[in-house]
Amino acid sequence: MNISESYKEVLSNFNKPYVYHTWLGRLMDFVLGSIQGFHYSKYWRRRSYVIDSENKNSLLKLYYLYWIKKVDAKNHCSFGTSYNSGALFKTPPLLEHGPNGIIIGHDVIVGKNCSIFQQVTIAQGGVKIGNNVLIGAGAKILPGVTIGNNVKIGANAVVVEDIPDGATVVLQKARIIVK
């Protein structure tokens, strides 16, 4: 699967998280987005357009990138977005508390159905995160780490080594407590 195909998959999954597939959920997204300054589906749709190198409309891409950077600045976050490149999300992550303080490097790969809480930092440097991963508030993931599927990372954990599938990770020096 090349990058262009994966972004088409991302576009097809936009309204899948929790209530966004109903009219009430989309209305709630619009109202909360107007208050918070972060429209979930609009943000991820525009982000996937900016990152996809097959989209040739440079002016629209630059406008979307400007809009994304403005939203990022307001929410003190960054999802690794650049012109024609950036972090790869298989599906848009579930942001339990909005994008507040989330920093993600430009070359990070995040699997499907990931939940990311506030103040999480995922460093640039080849981090790979599997499917169905929950990343708790304030967690830090350092460069070169691979995280398996169905992993739970506790609040304020600092992940410095690879994590196998199905593990639960806690504490500042991450220790695997369930294997």
For residue 142 the two structure tokens come to 């350092």
Q: What kind of fold does domain 3-178 have according to CATH?
A: UDP N-Acetylglucosamine Acyltransferase; domain 1 (2.160.10)
Write the pLDDT tens digit of every residue in 128-167. Answer: 999 999 999 999 999 999 999 999 999 999 999 999 999 9
Nearest residue to 47 via CA among 88, 104, 18:
88
Domain ranges within the chain, ordered by starting residue: 3-178
CA atoms within 13 A on the CB side of 107: 9
Mean pLDDT for 48-57 is 88
Going by pLDDT thresholds of 50, 70 and 90, the confidence category of residue 9 is low
What's the confidence (pLDDT) of residue 10? 52
CA distances (Å), origin 139, targets 37, 86, 104, 179 = 24, 21, 12, 20
Mean pLDDT for 14-20 is 49
Question: Could you tell me if 154 and 172 are in contact, meaning their C-beta atoms sit under 8 angstroms apart?
Answer: no
User: What is the C-alpha separation between 109 and 42, in angstroms, rounded?
Assistant: 21
User: What is the C-alpha separation between 24 and 6, in angstroms, rounded?
Assistant: 28
Going by pLDDT thresholds of 50, 70 and 90, the confidence category of residue 15 is very low
pTM beyond cutoff 0.75: yes
Mean pLDDT for 41-60 is 88
What's the confidence (pLDDT) of residue 4? 53
Pairing of strands 168-170, 175-178: antiparallel
